[in-house]
Amino acid sequence: MRTSFGYFFLALFFFACNGEEEVDVDVDPVEVPKHVFQSFESKISYCIGFDNGFTITQVYNGPNTTSKFFLSDIEEGLVAYLGNGELRVGIFEVDSILELYLGENGEVDESQVSKTDASYAIGLIEAQTLVGSLVGRGIDQAMDIDFLIKGIQDGMYNRQNTLSLTEIRTEVSKYYSEMNLVMGQSFLTENLKNESVSSTESGLQYEIIKRGTGISPNLTDTCIVHYTGRTIDGRVFESTVPSSIPAEFTPLGVIPGWKEGLLLMKAGGSWRFFIPYELAYGETGSGPIEPFSTLVFDLDLLEVKRFNPE
C-alpha cells in the first residue's frame, strides 16, 4: 500500500456523502463467489472497502455527476494505487488533470483531458483519501489489502452476496465506535499533561491561544465565530474558514462542550476546545461525526451581540 499522500479531496459537486439519502444508482448485479474470511482483519477490511466503494458510486454516479465519470476507470485508479500497481497517471499530474477537466460550475471539458483519464485521477484521489483515513486512525497496518480491494470492487457495483449493506455498515460503525471510545479517552488523558491545557469539572479541555478583551456571552446572546472542527486524528469535518463567512448562533443552540466553552471566552479571543464525546455528539454521532468521537475545535469569538427581547 502506498502511504505517500498529502491532502484530503472534498466532494466535487457539493454532495455530502456522509449521512445523506442514498442515490438510486442503476448498476447491473454481477455474480461472484462469496468471500470466506479467515480472520477479523480480513472481514473488517472488506467491510471498510465495501462501504467506501458503495459511497464512491453514490457520489460519482449521482444526480450531479452522472455521465461525467467512468466507474470502471475510477475503480482502476483505486485498485492500482492500493495494490501498488503501475500507475498510468502520475500522482503529481492529478491536480492539473482535474483542473483542465472540471469547470467552476460542474461542467466538464474533454477537449484537453479524456473522461477516462479524469476518472482514473478521481480513483487515485479516492485511494489517497482512504489511505489517509486509515493512517490517521492508526489501522493501516491492520488492513488486509486484498480484502480491502475486494470490498471496494463489490461495493462499487453493490454486490451484496457475502454480507448485506446493513450488515457491513453495522460492522464498520461498531469497529469505529469502539476505536473512537478508546482513542478519545487516551487522547484526553495525554492531552492534560500539556501545561497549556486546562480542564473543567465536566471534562471539557481547552487551550487559550489568545485572550479576548471584549465581553463574555450569556446563554441567549448571539456569538459570531469562525471555527474549524476536526477529529483527534486530524480529519476536518467542518470549517467556516474557507468561505470566510463566520457562523452566528447562541450558546443555547450548540453542543454542551461548545456552550460551556463559549461562556468562558471573551470577544476577540481564540481558544481550542477538546471535547469528550459526552459533551459532543454522544454515542450516536451526527452526519460525518462518528459515535463516541472526541472532537477538537479551533474557535475565534469575533463578536458578541447582546440579546434584545424587543
CATH architecture entry for 189-305: Roll (3.10)
Residue 83 half-sphere exposure toward CB, CA atoms < 13 A: 18
303 three-state secondary structure = strand
Q: What cell numbers appear for 46 in the block?
A: 472488506
Each of the 310 residues of the chain gets a pLDDT tens digit; together they read 433 333 333 333 333 333 344 444 455 555 567 899 999 999 999 999 999 999 999 988 877 777 899 999 999 999 999 998 899 988 999 999 999 998 877 788 899 999 999 999 999 999 999 998 899 888 999 999 999 999 999 999 999 989 999 999 999 999 999 999 999 999 999 999 999 999 999 999 999 999 999 999 999 999 999 999 999 988 888 999 988 999 999 999 999 999 999 999 999 999 999 999 999 999 999 988 999 999 999 999 999 999 988 7
Q: Is residue 260 a contact partner of residue 204, using CB atoms and an 8 Å limit?
A: yes
Per domain, the residue ranges of the chain are 40-163, 189-305
Q: What cell numbers appear for 195 in the block?
A: 501545561
At residue 61, the pLDDT reads 84
Q: 196-225: string of b/e by CB count within 10 Å (b at 16+)?
A: eeeeeeeebbbbeeeebeebebeeebbbeb
Strand-pair partners of 270:
210, 300
At residue 287, the pLDDT reads 84
What pTM was computed for the model? 0.75
Q: Is residue 9 a contact partner of residue 129, using CB atoms and an 8 Å limit?
A: yes
Q: Which residues contact 166 (CB under 8 A, 6 or more apart)?
A: none
